[in-house]
Each structure stands twice: as structure tokens, then as C-alpha cells.
């Protein structure tokens, strides 16, 4: 039997008008009345009539998504597929979702968020790729009372409505545990190799490295030698230059038996290992880019840490819609699983959670 407003009112001992104001967050009610109504709703199992609420909307609900351009970095195409899935599911509601893309440059991010602010949306989903600019954007959104969601990269100090993504510290620890198992009794070295484009500042990559190092400290494993190698890629230079630098590094470091890549560019190192027939090295990286999957299947990458990127994009929009439209309370942090993939299970994962 469908629960009515009047049923909730009788259960809570308040008027139907009070229940209506509390459910739709219109007007002021006492904390005591709010608690009574919330308790009655929970006990009666009340679910709002979304169709009626949709018809009652006087204007279209507008959500803007600010996402890095997948034409530059394939990784973000997964999130956009998820966002598009959410858009299709919300097609029957008075909601408009715009996706605004930006290049991995501060100026492009600034232009994109200016465009979003001019839209005056009801809510925003964005990837805070550049911290200082992301903080300015967050300050503007707070000033205009526009709730926002941080996707993939978490900065608590920006005070979002919620975050959705993976815990990078936990992900780094999982990768470290795989490396430790790979070493066994072999006292060879682990190389942490991070590859990024020039002038990029990915805080979650640093957190993955910190989590990785924490694992060995917390488990009392100081005898493990961990070297770090960072390569910044200038798009104006030839890729062969970087290939030569890294190949020579490996040749001069025969003690390295495991390479941990804390971002999505493990395929770059895998191609070098494949091309130069460098064997006996375990390679662990992140994310289900097509090149990563290909080299995982060929055996040049042993493990990929995945994070259900498509589901992140999907739920960022759906959860924000629920908060704005249904007025659902939302958790502050939605951490996605740290998934371990190898060539034996990638086929089961690919069609479902990429």
C-alpha cells in the first residue's frame, strides 16, 4: 500500500502541511518536528512520487560536468561514458546535463569553469585537476550556493557536497602488497616510475606513491630498496628520447625486478620492455586504458589496479540528481573498490565496470 503524506502526519503527530514542508524543504520547521517526520518516514517506508515531483518542477534542473578532454587522455573517456549513461536514465525527468571539456592546462581549466559559472547550473560535477584554480572555482560555487561534486581527485578542503572516486592511499598500499608478494625472498629493488606531461600536478598520484611507501614502513620492511624515477614528457620532444633515457636507466640498474607505475601510463614502460626484450621484470600500473589492457593480455604488464571509472562518472551525476531533486542525504565520501586485474580476469571485468 502506498504511503501518503497524511499517513506520515498521523504517525509523527504533526500536520500534513508540516510533513509537506519538511519533505520538500520549503519553509521552516522545528528540529523536533523534523526528527519526528524523518522517523515516521523511515518506519513507514515512504518513497516520494518522482513523477508528481517532476511535473511540479517549475524549471529544468541543470547539472554541469567539467571533465578533462579524453582526446588528450583516454582515461577520461570512461567517466564520460558513465555520465552519458546517467543522462539517458534521467531523460524522462526535467533535468539537463551539460559536459564541458578542458585540456590539461590551467588556462583551459579556467576558461571551462568560467563557462560553467555563466550557465548558472543547479549543481556541478568536476575533476579538480589543478588545485589552486580548483579552489577558486569551489569558492565561486560556494558563494553562489551551487552544490558541487569532486570526481576522481579528492581535496577535502574544497568542502564539496561529496567526493566520488578511489582512495589513492589504499590503492597505493594494495599495489605495494602485490610488489611485496612478487619479491618473495628476492632482495632485489622496486622502482616507482611516474610518467606525466610537463607541468601537470596530480595530487592523487602523489598519494598513491605515499600509500605505497607507507605499506613498507607500516609492515616493518625497511630492507626493501625502493628507487624513484620521474619522467616529465614535453610534447615538443620525440618519444624516442624518453625511451632511450628509461631503457638506459634499466640497463644500468640490473637490481630492479619490479616496476610500479602510479598512473595510467604503464603501457609506455611495457612497450619499452617489449621492444628491447627486457625480461624478468614485474610491471604494475593503473587503469584500463586500451593500451594497458592489450599489454596486460600479452604479459608485459602483470597487474592493473582499476577503479570502475565508468561507474564513477555515472554515480557522480545520479547521486547529485538525487540530492538536488529527491533531496536525499548523501555521504560525504563515496570510495570505489580497489580492483586488481590480471590477464586471467580482465575479460570478466571489461564489459561491466571499465
Give the 3-state secondary structure of residue 64. Answer: strand
Give the dihedral sign, CA 73/204/199/135: positive
Full pLDDT tens readout for the chain, 354 residues = 566 666 777 777 877 667 667 666 666 777 777 778 778 777 777 666 544 454 445 578 999 999 999 998 888 998 999 999 999 988 888 889 999 999 988 999 999 999 999 999 999 999 998 999 999 999 999 999 999 999 999 999 999 999 999 999 999 999 999 999 888 766 668 878 776 654 555 678 889 999 999 999 999 887 788 888 887 765 656 666 778 888 888 888 888 889 999 999 899 999 999 999 988 899 999 999 999 999 999 999 999 999 999 999 999 999 999 898 877 778 899 999 999 999 999 988 864 555
Burial 214-223 (b: 16+ CB within 10 A, else e): ebbeeeeeee
Q: Dig out the grid coordinates for 287 from the structure.
A: 587503469
Query: How many C-alpha atoms does 91 have within 13 Å on its Cβ side?
Result: 4
CA-nearest of 301, 315, 300, 285 to 78 is: 315
Half-sphere exposure of residue 302: CA atoms within 13 angstroms, side-chain side: 17
242-264 as b/e, with b when 16 or more CB fall inside 10 Å? bbeebbeebeeeeebbbbbbbbb
Res 54: pLDDT: 45
User: What's the confidence (pLDDT) of residue 168?
Assistant: 95
Q: Which domains does the chain have, with CATH numbers?
A: 5-47 (no CATH), 57-165+309-335 (3.40.50.2300), 168-306 (3.40.50.2300)
Predicted structure pTM score: 0.79
Question: Tell me, what's the pLDDT at 55?
Answer: 42
Q: Report pLDDT for 198.
A: 46
Amino acid at each position: 500500500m502506498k504511503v501518503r503524506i497524511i499517513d506520515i502526519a498521523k504517525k509523527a503527530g504533526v500536520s500534513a502541511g508540516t510533513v509537506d514542508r519538511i519533505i520538500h524543504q520549503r519553509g521552516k520547521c522545528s528540529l523536533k518536528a523534523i526528527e519526528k517526520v524523518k522517523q515516521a518516514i523511515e518506519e513507514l517506508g515512504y518513497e516520494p512520487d518522482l513523477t508528481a515531483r517532476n511535473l511540479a518542477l517549475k524549471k529544468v534542473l541543470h547539472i554541469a560536468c567539467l571533465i578533462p578532454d579524453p582526446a588528450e587522455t583516454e582515461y577520461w573517456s570512461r567517466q564520460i561514458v558513465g555520465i552519458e549513461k546517467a543522462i539517458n536514465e534521467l531523460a524522462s525527468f526535467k533535468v539537463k546535463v551539460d559536459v564541458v571539456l578542458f585540456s590539461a592546462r590551467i588556462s583551459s581549466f579556467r576558461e571551462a569553469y568560467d563557462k560553467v559559472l555563466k550557465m548558472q547550473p543547479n549543481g556541478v560535477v568536476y575533476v579538480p585537476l589543478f588545485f589552486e584554480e580548483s579552489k577558486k572555482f569551489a569558492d565561486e560555487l560556494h558563494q553562489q550556493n551551487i552544490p558541487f561534486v569532486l570526481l576522481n581527485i579528492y581535496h577535502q578542503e574544497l568542502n564539496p557536497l561529496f567526493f566520488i572516486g578511489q582512495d589513492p592511499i589504499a590503492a597505493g598500499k594494495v599495489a605495494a602488497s602485490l610488489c611485496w608478494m612478487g619479491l618473495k625472498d628476492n632482495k632485489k629493488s622496486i622502482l616507482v616510475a611516474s610518467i606525466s606531461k610537463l607541468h601537470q600536478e596530480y595530487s592523487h598520484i602523489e598519494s598513491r606513491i605515499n600509500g605505497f611507501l607507507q605499506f613498507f614502513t607500516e609492515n616493518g620492511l625497511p630492507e626493501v630498496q625502493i628507487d624513484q624515477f620521474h619522467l616529465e614528457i614535453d610534447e615538443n620532444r620525440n618519444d624516442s628520447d624518453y625511451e632511450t633515457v628509461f631503457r638506459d636507466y634499466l640497463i644500468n640498474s640490473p637490481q630492479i625486478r619490479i616496476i610500479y607505475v602510479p598512473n595510467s601510463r604503464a603501457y609506455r614502460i611495457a612497450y619499452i620492455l617489449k621492444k628491447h626484450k627486457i625480461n624478468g621484470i614485474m610491471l604494475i600500473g593503473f587503469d584500463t586504458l586500451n593500451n594497458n589492457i592489450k599489454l596486460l593480455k600479452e604479459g608485459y604488464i602483470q597487474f592493473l589496479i582499476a577503479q570502475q571509472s565508468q561507474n564513477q562518472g555515472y554515480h557522480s551525476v545520479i547521486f547529485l540528481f538525487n540530492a538536488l531533486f529527491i533531496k536525499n542525504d548523501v555521504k560525504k565520501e563515496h570510495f570505489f573498490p580497489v580492483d586488481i586485474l590480471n590477464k586471467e580476469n580482465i575479460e570478466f571485468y571489461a564489459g561491466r565496470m571499465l
